[in-house]
Amino acid sequence: DQQVKQNSPSLSVQEGRISILNCDYTNSMFDYFLWYKKYPAEGPTFLISISSTKDKNEDGRFTVFLNKSAKHLSLHIVPSQPGDSAVYFCAASARSNFGNEKLTFGTGTRLTIIP
Amino acid sequence: NAGVTQTPKFQVLKTGQSMTLQCAQDMNHEYMSWYRQDPGMGLRLIHYSVGAGITDQGEVPNGYNVSRSTTEDFPLRLLSAAPSQTSVYFCASSYRRGKLFFGSGTQLSVL
């Protein structure tokens, strides 16, 4: 049962245009969402996060939007740059009774920026 | 400025062999975890620890053991390697909710 889904395995975008990566989740207990970026032969690196108390969070060229009613979040990259070419993972967590939390990751979207 | 260090980077095992993947962090993070990445499956949590002496199972714990005797180290032991354990393994640590710092990974092949 895939609780976090990224339905687009790949996406190609022209340099300078907007990249939109999508993520859907099924677990209504998730209350914190993150995006990670991964280059080949490296570990994932944290990009941006959003709490369920917000519907938008911005950090420079990166904006994450959360639609709780649709259980959907998206990552917008504007403008897209060649260095943004990577695999992007969506992740979610739910606070447990003991204060521990475990991230559930999506399957990833490979973004290619075309110069 | 090492962050999270994983060794080895590559390993080939025969079915039935055992080995330990090493993970060390120098950021004094309480939370550490192990994930495996497989094609089309994303990253799946194997085991995690919220402090020295405290560990718990994740989504795919079978065939793996962990222990946490110090804050810095969180080794992952494969008891009897199987081809299904061929994967890329990532160790991560965290000081606050969700923002994991990952190591560069160990690529493991089990023949």
3-state secondary structure B23-63: EEECCCCCEEEEEEEECCCEEEEEEEEEECCEEEECCCCCC
In whole angstroms, give the CA distance from residue B27 to residue B93.
8
pLDDT reported for residue A64: 98
List CB contacts (< 8 A) between A46 and chain B.
Answer: 99-101
pLDDT reported for residue A97: 57
3-state secondary structure of B15: coil
Burial of A46 (0-12, 13-18, 19+ CB in 10 A): middle
CA angle B48, B49, B52 (to 5 degrees): 155
Q: Which residue, A89, A106, A103, A99, is CA-closest to A30?
A: A103
Which residues of B make CB contacts under 8 Å with A? 4, 33, 35, 40-45, 48, 50, 56, 58-59, 90, 92, 97-105
Q: Per the CB < 8 Å rule, is B98 touching A108?
A: no
Query: For chain A, what is the HEC assignment?
Result: CCCEECCCCEEEEECCCCEEEEEEECCCCCCEEEEEEECCCCCCEEEEEEECCCCEEEECCEEEEEECCCCEEEEEECCCCHHHCEEEEEEEECCCCCCCCCCEECCCEEEEEEC
- Mind listing the pLDDT tens digit for each residue in B43-94? 999 999 988 999 999 999 999 999 999 999 999 999 999 999 999 999 999 9
- Mind listing the pLDDT tens digit for each residue in B7-36? 999 999 999 999 999 999 999 999 999 999
Task: Please state which of the ranges A29-38, A77-86, A92-101 shows the lowest mean pLDDT.
Answer: A92-101
Q: Is the pLDDT of residue A99 over 70?
A: no
List the beta bridge partners of residue B54.
B51
Q: Per the CB < 8 Å rule, is B98 touching A91?
A: yes
Which residue among A4, A89, A93 sits closest to B98, beta carbon to beta carbon?
A93
- Mind listing the pLDDT tens digit for each residue in A50-69? 999 999 999 999 999 999 99
Q: What are phi and psi of B18, to 5 degrees?
A: -115, 155
List CB contacts (< 8 A) between A91 and chain B.
Answer: 98
Q: Is the pLDDT of residue A14 over 70?
A: yes
